[in-house]
Amino acid sequence: MSDLIARVAVAAPLPQALYYRIPESLSQQARVGARLRVPLGRRQVVGYLLGFTDQPVARLKDVLEVLDREPLFHESMVAFFEWAADYYCHPLGEVIRTALPAGLSGVGKGPKILSESFFTLLLEKEEPRGAKQRAIVDYLRQHGATPLTQLKEQFGDVYGSLKRLVEQGFVTEDKKERNRDPFAAVPLTADCPVEPAEGQLVALQTIEEALAGNDFRPMLLHGVTGSGKTEVYLRAVQQALKLGRKALVLVPEIALTPQLVGRFRARFAAEGARLAVLHSGLSDGERYDTWRTVARGESDIVIGARSAIFAPIENLGIIVVDEEHEGSYKQGDGFRYHARDLALLRGQMLGATVLLGSATPALTTFYRAQQGQSEYLPLADRVMGRPLPTVELVDLSEQRPEGVLAEPLRQALLENLERGEQSLLLLNRRGFAPFLLCVDCGATVRCPNCEITLTYYQQQRVLRCNYCDFSLTPPDTCPVCHGNELAPEGAGTERLEEELAELLPAANIGRMDRDTTLRKGTHQKLIDGMASRRIDVLVGTQMVAKGHDFPGVTLVGVVNADSALNLPDFRSAERAFSLLTQVAGRAGRGEKPGRVLIQTYDPEHYVLSCAAGHDYRSFYDEELVNREMLGYPPFGHLVNCLLAGNDEQRVIAAAEGLADAWQELADGTTVEILGPAPCPLSRLRGKWRRQILLKAPSRSALRHLLNHFKDLRSRVPAGVTATIDVDPIDML
């Protein structure tokens, strides 16, 4: 019998898969999708079994152990992982390690599998003697196999009685696997589906035709805020399930998952559809249990954040990407994939419908729809004929605020509170003030690890870096001139909260930012407070704009719209328009109309005028001209190479050497090499940073250069890392 040879992706930075011999003792256990313990040099590492080959390979090492009783992914996922690794220039083994639940990266067996005792009545015998034993037997006769926890709830302390019943042959005890369900306690959201509006019906008809055709159909559901996109998702998933297929629903933020889970459970509970939730915020055990449940085919609908795109779902009929424009779908480090783009790839591989939804689609997504590369499904009106909120631009050069809030917004807040209506304020800066300023010499207190100022937190009386978390007690004197007056400059959410408390002393004010939502459950508590109307005014960073549905909010205020417009990133206008439109869309979603006030020093800016008019198309047309002029997406493709290290001069030299080598390769091609240049955040967490931007009108031209990256990276000196980011969305 010839040896069984396995193709294995090891969890190490290697560009290709390796081959190992599978000993005969392990041949029955080795299945595609299982983790293996394999030797690599002098150490042992985790490998992932991708397949088998009959071709003889010389000098093979043996697989040492098969770590999983059941495969963690299906054979159909192998091509998906390989494409992603190739496209994003990332080692295949590390791609798979990123995709799998945390806790499976070591050579151990992974998180513990929990089990629970189930008790079943055997053949009828004479009645047991004890009263509690007879009651348990009667209960099992009516309910069948019952878990121990349920019997404890019914009868209290039952262990002794059950032990005697087992010994006497009345019942049998079996151990069954018990899954950890982090969303078991999520309340069912009231589900009162209304008759779909005309736009929703047209969209659903197109989606149902695609599902029936069983072929890949990308679609853009472009609906204004409050237009009922979630209802379309629910009905589209319902149709997929009717056809015997399964569904994957992606949301941009972990914090939004409980709300959507509540909606889906309410809709599908009666139909018996099995729902699973996957995201990185779960414990290792919770994610492991859910992953295995999905892999066994025991879930019909999977809901999750970015990482759920790798869920091992077979027979997938539809993938929904809610708020597809959100940057959080892009992984920011390591394997820098974009979940929306991988959703389109996975749909293409499986012949599934891919539904991208947004009120403010990414420019590239809308462009593809306009070019006929995906189907365009517009929802132009809010549900039940509700009007979009009126938007007013408050010119701060004419209405100079004494503190953070100009008079029009102050007055609107007072009136809204008097009417018993809720308000929401956006200020996309944490802390009390962005920095402390010496009034004598103008110096600021800066982070020793990053090239930025330290944010001042007045409640804690601390200066903190919002990138590396370095903190110190505010100094009494200026570190430069030793002057003894340091003043907080600018405003953050903490300062805004303080000003509101003075303006509205009777109001219940909530603050939603990273600092107030770190502890588990605090984010949901704020959402519940808004839903129950216990909170009168909610203040926050961009977290407040993320898809929340608060029917009681009739006033939205944007405290400083200009801060989002002046970032050194070609996508800053797109992000600003999206943020303003999304936060404005929180107003007037209930029975009463909404009003939005945007404070700015530049009311003529096209981003602000388009946002005020709810005019996505005009913004798109204007921004498209700028993109085409500069060759940026969707008219070009980008790859960013980031070099970082502790020694600034070594980083500079490495960046220049790599840029020169790429320039030689790019000569005579359409690829443009920009840089090297310091990153806008030139030092971060103690590392000096330089970037090289590769730009080309086609992906194929960039592929030619990227194919040489593995060789070029070997020339980068020790102490400097070179990282590739394909299709970057963050240039800071």
- For the annotated binding site for Zn(2+), the residues are 438, 441, 447, 450, 465, 468, 478, 481
3-state secondary structure of 426: strand
CB 561 within 8 A of CB 406: no
Q: What is the token pair recorded at 176?
A: 């069954």
What gap in Å lies between CA 695 and CA 639, rounded to an integer? Answer: 7
Separation CA 291–CA 269 (nearest Å)? 21
Name the strands in the sheet holding 146-147, side by side, starting at the edge strand that comes first in the sequence. Answer: 146-147, 115-121, 171-177
> Token match 């605090």: residue?
522
CA distances from 67 to 48, 63, 513 (A): 10, 11, 41
Q: Which runs of consecutive H residues, i.e. helices, occur in 389-460?
A: 407-418
For every residue of 280-333, which 3-state class applies, written as one string?
Answer: CCCCHHHHHHHHHHHHCCCCCEEEECHHHHHCCCCCEEEEEEECCCCHHHECCC
* ω into 634 cis (within 30 of 0): yes
Cα angle for residues 388, 392, 398 (degrees, 5° grid):
175
Could you give the CA distance from residue 156 to residue 152 in angstroms, rounded to a whole number?
A: 5
CA–CA distance, 537 with 523 (Å, rounded to integer): 15
Residue 155 three-state SS? helix
What span, in angstroms and rounded, lies between the C-alpha atoms of 326 and 697?
24
Nearest-angstrom CA–CA distance, 420 and 554 = 10
* CA distance linking residue 63 with residue 491, whole number of Å: 59
- Which strands sit side by side in the sheet containing 595-600, from one edge to the other? 390-395, 595-600, 553-558, 422-426, 537-540, 509-512
**Residues flagged as binding site:** 438, 441, 447, 450, 465, 468, 478, 481
The token pair at 53 is 């080959």
CA distance 322 to 703: 30
Write the CA distances from 262 to 188, 559, 702, integer angstroms.
5, 32, 44
The amino acid sitting at 241 is L
Task: Please name which of 636, 645, 643 lies closest in space to residue 699, comparing C-alpha atoms.
Answer: 636
The gap from C-alpha 194 to its chain's centroid, in whole angstroms, comes to 29
Residue 722 region by backbone torsions, left for phi larger than 0, else alpha for psi between -120 and 50, else beta: beta
3-state secondary structure at position 135? helix
Burial class from Cβ neighbours inside 10 Å (0-12, 13-18, 19+) for residue 533 reads middle
Query: How far apart are the two ends of the chain, measured CA to CA in Å?
Result: 58
Cα 6 from chain centroid (whole Å): 34
343's enclosing H/E stretch is helix 339-350
The answer, yes or no, to whether the previous bond of 196 is cis (omega within 30 of 0) is: no
Which residue(s) pair with 49 in the sheet? 8
Q: Residue 341: helix, strand or coil by DSSP?
A: helix
d(Cα 726, Cα 336) in Å, to the nearest integer?
8
